[in-house]
Amino acid sequence: MNPRWLLVAVAALVLAPPVPGQEKKDKKELRWGTDPTGGAPYVYKDGDTFVGFEVELAEYLAKEIGRTSKMVTGDWDKLPELLGKPADDDSIDIVLNGYELTEDMEKKYPSTVPYYVYKLGLIIHKDSAESISGWSDLNREQGGDGNKRKTSIGVLGGSAAHKYMKGKRFGDKIDLAINPDVATVIGLVEQKRLDATVQDTPAALYYIKNGKELKLADEPRKAGFYVILTRPADKELREQLNAAIKKGIKDGTLKTIYEKYGLWNADQERLLYWTEQPWPPPFPAEDENEEESGGEKGKVDWGKLTLELLRAAGMTVFLAAASFPIAMLIGMLVALSRVYGPALIRFPFGLYVEFLRGTPLLLQLYFVFYLLPPLVQQVFGVSFNLTPIQAGILGLAINYSAYEAENYRAGLLAIPRGQMEAALALGMNPLTALRVVIVPQAVRIVIPPVTNDFIALFKDTSVCSVILITELTRKYNELYNFNRDYIIQLAFITAGLYLLMSYPLAIVARVLEKRLGSVGGAHR
């Protein structure tokens, strides 16, 4: 090929305009971690598109630093952990999702200057205004004579509201309900199943504006900052984001975004002041009314944390011990109906078993606690409210009844049919034959699988955290959120408690197997 033509071809390639969309494709992404389940006004779906003030903020920041915005989803309380992974195409660059500035988090994941000033808002149902007129009323008992109870307050797990309400000012004086979904907690307040909820002002302002039955009970308190979390090594990115935030505050871009969602208020007027101060600011001494991890700042009170885990383990034991006998009873009735019942009832009971085994326990608990009460109210016009404990026991019992039904069915089918015929020939009626001859033998046969299910139930109680029950796994996550440097120690203590609950049962099961096995053998 002629060298001159080759030179012309190379020059044409170099000088040619980029293919449409190629610049955007080649531009580096700003991968920001968020949890869309947190909902409005932060990040939520409008049709097929994610919107929210943090979505628009991320797009603005990405544009300012020469990148494209890329949203990466994850669980809210686990998002910072993603920053602990190596920076690559599968990880995130920043966490941008209503994360409050805290000293512990700042040590691990340095923050940008603040992009929003929040306060804690106390939200109640309008009908509760007489009993809860302000923060001071939260420590008072609710209900009429003979039905006194602590004020129930919902919070987002791991949030500033969670820490504040768990502190000494309120603490054991209230019934604290922890949930990872703000919209769910708000819905329970609207249904009057929670007395109140404490939320950051963006969520509080949004839901009060869009909820006809909600109101603020008092002036918001405990101001704090929303910041963007970064990796310690990403100093250059942090400086770029800081410059973009400051520019957005000065030229009014952030104000425009916040006004669009009804979030601009007098507190945001101070944003510029804070962005011009040395960052991070000095952290104040621990408030005596705040939750503390130890007696001295920087030290952990392991006795206190272990006691909290022990109490939560007690709830785990209670849920398992209360629900499993019910599951065994229902399971036996279902098994007897399927083996000895008429054909008319075998099919629906078979469908019952397959439906419960084929759907997640999480979904079943969600239905029992969140959907069943309003459904009963709408269809039958009667009030039907389940407490979290009642819903947890009922949901676990119904779910495990399907598995126990299969265990007992296998045991019943293992008994030779001749034994039933012999019992009937001796003059027993069918019910007596089942009670005296068949069922006792079937129970002996299924002791191993039934015991294994009981042990598994201890672990499955962790799903009850979605219906506001604080059991062992929920408590571990809660303590970890406020003591992130001690994840290994907390995990070992939690695992040890689960082992202490399950291992003795395994020993008892083996002993019973041997004893009942020998007894059964003697009768054969």
Question: What are 73's strand-pairing partners?
Answer: 34
| For residue 10, pLDDT beyond 70 | no
Residue 26 banded pLDDT, cuts 50, 70, 90: low
Q: Which residues contact 485 (CB under 8 A, 6 or more apart)?
A: 104, 107, 108
| For residue 219, pLDDT beyond 50 | yes
Q: Are residues 420 and 516 in the same domain?
A: yes
Q: Which residues contact 429 (CB under 8 A, 6 or more apart)?
A: none
Q: Are residues 489 and 439 in the same domain?
A: yes
Q: Kindly report, residue by residue over 143-158, the tens digit of the pLDDT.
A: 776 678 899 999 998 8
- Supply angle C-alpha 372, 203, 390, rounded to 5: 25
Q: Kindly report, residue by residue over 256-308, the tens digit of the pLDDT.
A: 999 999 999 999 999 999 988 999 999 876 555 555 444 445 577 888 899 99
Q: Are residues 82 and 153 in the same domain?
A: no
The C-alpha torsion from 83 through 85 and 88 to 91, rounded to 10°, is -50
- Flag whether 400 is in a domain: yes
| For residue 8, pLDDT beyond 80 | no
| For residue 491, pLDDT beyond 60 | yes
Residue 522 banded pLDDT, cuts 50, 70, 90: very low
Q: How far apart are CA 392 and CA 366, in angstroms?
A: 10
Write the CA distances from 409 to 338, 385, 441, integer angstroms: 8, 34, 12
Q: Are residues 427 and 481 in the same domain?
A: yes
Q: How far apart are CA 302 and CA 315, in angstroms?
A: 20
Domain boundary pick from 191, 225, 259: 225
Assigned token pair, 126: 């309008």
> Over the range 204-231, which residues count as b (16 or more CB within 10 Å of their CB) and which as e?
bbbbbeebeebeebeebebebbbbbbbb
Question: What pLDDT does residue 197 have?
Answer: 97
In one-letter notation, the amino acid at residue 136 is: S
Q: Is 301 helix (H, G, I), strand (E, B) or coil?
A: coil
Residue 16 banded pLDDT, cuts 50, 70, 90: low
Q: How far apart are CA 497 and CA 363, in angstroms?
A: 27
Mean per-residue pLDDT, 398-426:
92
| For residue 14, pLDDT beyond 70 | no
Residue 521 banded pLDDT, cuts 50, 70, 90: very low
Residue 199 banded pLDDT, cuts 50, 70, 90: very high
Q: What is the 3-state secondary structure (H, E, C) of 116-153?
A: EEEEEEEEEEHHHCCCCCCHHHHHCCECCCCCCECEEE
Q: How far apart are CA 85 and CA 271, in angstroms?
A: 31
**Phi then psi for 81, rounded to 5 degrees?**
-60, -30
Q: What's the N-to-C CA distance of the chain in angstroms?
A: 97
Answer yes or no: are the C-beta atoms of 241 and 84 closer than 8 Å.
Answer: no
Half-sphere exposure of 380 (CA within 13 A, CB side): 8
Q: Are residues 318 and 193 in the same domain?
A: no
| For residue 43, pLDDT beyond 90 | yes
Q: Max Cα separation, the chain?
A: 112
**Phi then psi for 114, rounded to 5 degrees?**
-70, 145
Question: What pLDDT does residue 4 have?
Answer: 55
Percent of the chain with pLDDT over 90: 63
- Flag whether 156 is in a domain: yes
Answer yes or no: are the C-beta atoms of 177 and 152 closer than 8 Å.
Answer: yes
| For residue 226, pLDDT beyond 70 | yes
Answer yes or no: are the C-beta atoms of 400 and 324 closer than 8 Å.
Answer: yes
- Flag whether 39 is in a domain: yes
- Flag whether 448 is in a domain: yes
Q: Which helix (H) or strand (E) holds 413?
A: helix 388-414
> CB burial class (10 A; 0-12, 13-18, 19+) of residue 164?
buried
Torsion 9-11-13-18 (CA) sign = negative
Answer yes or no: are the C-beta atoms of 338 and 412 closer than 8 Å.
Answer: no
Q: How far apart are CA 278 and CA 309, in angstroms?
A: 39
Residue range(s) defining the domain that contains residue 145: 116-225
Residue 17 banded pLDDT, cuts 50, 70, 90: low
- Flag whether 297 is in a domain: no
Q: Are residues 69 and 134 in the same domain?
A: no
Q: Are residues 164 and 180 in the same domain?
A: yes
Most confident listed range (79-93, 142-156, 246-260):
246-260
Question: What are 197's strand-pairing partners?
Answer: 123, 154
Whether the bond into 360 is cis, omega within 30 of 0: no
- Supply angle C-alpha 169, 171, 175, rounded to 5: 130
Q: Are residues 371 and 417 in the same domain?
A: yes
The reported pTM is 0.84
Question: What pLDDT does residue 520 have?
Answer: 40
- Flag whether 3 is in a domain: no
Q: Are residues 401 and 513 in the same domain?
A: yes
Q: Are residues 495 and 390 in the same domain?
A: yes
Q: Are residues 309 and 437 in the same domain?
A: yes
User: CATH code at 421?
Assistant: 1.10.3720.10
Q: How far apart are CA 316 and CA 462, in angstroms?
A: 8
Q: Are residues 326 and 372 in the same domain?
A: yes
User: CATH code at 124?
Assistant: 3.40.190.10
Domain boundary pick from 192, 225, 258: 225
Q: How far apart are CA 415 and CA 350, in angstroms?
A: 20
| For residue 22, pLDDT beyond 60 | no
Q: Which helix (H) or strand (E) holds 119?
A: strand 116-125
- Flag whether 128 is in a domain: yes
Question: What pLDDT does residue 289 have?
Answer: 54
- Flag whether 241 is in a domain: yes
Mean per-residue pLDDT, 406-423:
91
Domain boundary pick from 193, 208, 225: 225
Answer yes or no: are the C-beta atoms of 220 and 204 closer than 8 Å.
Answer: yes
Question: What pLDDT does residue 62 have?
Answer: 97
Most confident listed range (287-291, 375-379, 398-402, 470-474):
398-402
Please tell me what DSSP assigns to residue 199: E
Q: What integer best gives the mean pLDDT of the chain?
A: 88
Length of the chain: 524
Torsion 69-70-75-80 (CA) sign = negative
Q: Kindly report, residue by residue over 313-333, the tens digit of the pLDDT.
A: 999 999 999 999 999 999 999
| The total number of structural domains that make up the chain | 3
Q: Is 508 helix (H, G, I), strand (E, B) or coil?
A: helix
